[in-house]
A and B are shown apart, each in its own frame.
Chain A
């Protein structure tokens, strides 16, 4: 890709940010900072679409005419799946639903952990999947650094889950014939 930001005419590359049904202003604020936006532009992304959920912080909209990152946002949408599909990079909260939906679409993913949650077991999943190189895991303050260090080519595809082992054990336990 190189210095895609230099070319005047370039293909649309969307970054989709999603907080799901949660309240996660820290993430919306983080992606709305100049540092993060510059970093995304430098990596060749052209559009930033933010699903901000129940948050109260409104990011600054921008049409991106002047060669900067185009920014748009909305609260909720029934078509999150379409936004995920059209994205080149997804930045998501740590909910398992969002994580697996994105991974199964094969999209590069940065999961941002919400430190304000009381029971923060959700970071377990993001950290484990980051260790297995299926995604990047960040905190609102470190998002800028994660974007600058990331190499989406090095992420490994996530193999989709398999319920046959558990079904086999249940059937065997209940004495149902195995076939």
Chain B
């Protein structure tokens, strides 16, 4: 009995290793394939379809910049349905998004797609201790995943707040797994003149953002894959 068990074990182990190695290899290949495909523009079509869009809002200054971008972007009726996400502690940003949507609605002559306003848990509040923030970070990640599974956006627009990082990483993983292909756009805040923010640096270095925009020329020189777009404010 003992012997037989051992034999089974010996037969079993190499195949487990083989399977694990091949799965890891496939996963790595897939990630590299997605990294190569990301950043390539979508082939222009004669009759493009509107894309579901996730807009991540930050606090004060960040939101003002994003609203300025949306004021121009939404002139084309190509970004719908739209999903606005802001931190649960931030009511001002969603209010501003509501105002913007009212304007867009009026401009379109009362024609509008379905727009949703959502709040997301923040992984860490200002001044929160690091030990409790492990728990809250986990909670925030689960909540972000739940939101992303529901939304499955085709376009992600963000400009800096920390909450955009998990959402962008999940959007990227959706591409890897094949759940949803999306284009991720990141606009670095105007307040960043010489150095990227931590969120920006992560999304740039990990190549998660398909297109990365900066508002100052000296930042573009430092991060050559970024596009310089001038000041939004």
A residues contacting B by CB (< 8 A) are 95-97, 100, 104, 121-122, 124-125, 127-128, 160-167, 169-177
Contact = CB atoms under 8 A, between A and B. Distances in A.
A170 B42 CA distance: 10
B69 interface: yes
A173 B48 contact: no
B68 interface: yes
Contacts of A100: 61, 64, 190, 233
B68 A169 contact: no
In the A-B complex, list the 7 residue pairs whose CB atoms are closest, starting with the nearest. Answer: A175-B44, A96-B61, A167-B72, A124-B193, A175-B42, A166-B229, A161-B233
Given A166-B229, A175-B42, A124 B192 contact: yes
Nearest to B187: A166
14 contacts: A96-B60, A96-B191, A97-B64, A121-B195, A125-B190, A127-B193, A162-B230, A163-B69, A163-B72, A164-B72, A170-B157, A174-B155, A175-B43, A176-B44
A139 to B, nearest CB: 18
Contact of B48 (A169, A170, A176): A176
Interface string B121-162: 000000000000000000000000000000000010100000
A161 B43 CA distance: 30
B229 A97 contact: no
A46 to B, nearest CB: 31
B61 A97 contact: yes
Contacts of B118: none
B170 to A, nearest CB: 20
A125 to B, nearest CB: 5
* Most chain A CB inside 10 Å of its own CB: which residue of B155, B187, B190, B195: B190
* Most chain A CB inside 10 Å of its own CB: which residue of B45, B60, B72, B210: B72
